[in-house]
Structure formats: structure tokens, C-alpha cells
């Protein structure tokens, strides 16, 4: 998750899915009496929320390409 602005994460549903998987993983770990791994998974979920929803800046799709325009 180092590059949270990767084009893969542009759709909202993918960012929500990553957070949901981490939360579900955490719930499973707590339910199976492994709180250490549950806290680690909960930490992943918190970090994902921070990166994907608080700091996330969507790429500007309407931005013109960099460089000179081709001559026709």
C-alpha cells in the first residue's frame, strides 16, 4: 500500500473492499482467540482508511497530457 494513488485504487469500491477485507480479517482473528493478529489486522484497516479516504487525492482525469502537442 505504499502507492495508494495507483490507478488500481481509483474506483471507490476497490478502496472500500480493501478496508472491508481487513476489518473482516480482524473480526475472524478476534473470534478465534488470537487478539495479537486481530490488532495487526485492525491496524491495517486503520492505515487503509487513513490512506484511501483521508489522504486520497483522485487523479485529475481532465488534465491535458504533458509535453508539446503533435503537429498535424
**pTM score:** 0.72
Asked if the structure places residue 64 within a domain, the reply is no
Q: What pLDDT is recorded for position 46? A: 94
Q: How confident is the model at residue 1 (pLDDT cuts 50, 70, 90)?
A: very low
Distances (CA, A) of 32 to 11, 22, 38, 40: 33, 15, 9, 14
Give me 8's grid cell.
488500481
pLDDT at 16: 93
The reply to whether 72 falls in a domain is no
Structural domain of 26: 7-54
Angle between helices 35-49 and 12-31 (to 10 degrees): 160
**Dihedral sign computed on CA atoms, order 63, 66, 68, 70:** negative
* Structure confidence by residue, pLDDT tens digits, 22-71: 999 999 999 999 999 999 999 999 999 998 888 877 666 555 556 666 66
Q: Is residue 49 part of a domain?
A: yes
What is residue 35's predicted lDDT score, i.e. its pLDDT?
Answer: 95
pLDDT at 19: 93
CA distance 66 to 1: 27
Residue 39, in any domain of the structure: yes
Amino acid at each position: 500500500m505504499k502507492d495508494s494513488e495507483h490507478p488500481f485504487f481509483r474506483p471507490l469500491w476497490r478502496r472500500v473492499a480493501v478496508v472491508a477485507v481487513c476489518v473482516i480479517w480482524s473480526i475472524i482473528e478476534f473470534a478465534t482467540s488470537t487478539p495479537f493478529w486481530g490488532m495487526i489486522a485492525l491496524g491495517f484497516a486503520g492505515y487503509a482508511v487513513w490512506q484511501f479516504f483521508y489522504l486520497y487525492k483522485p487523479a485529475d482525469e481532465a488534465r491535458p497530457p504533458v509535453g508539446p502537442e503533435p503537429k498535424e
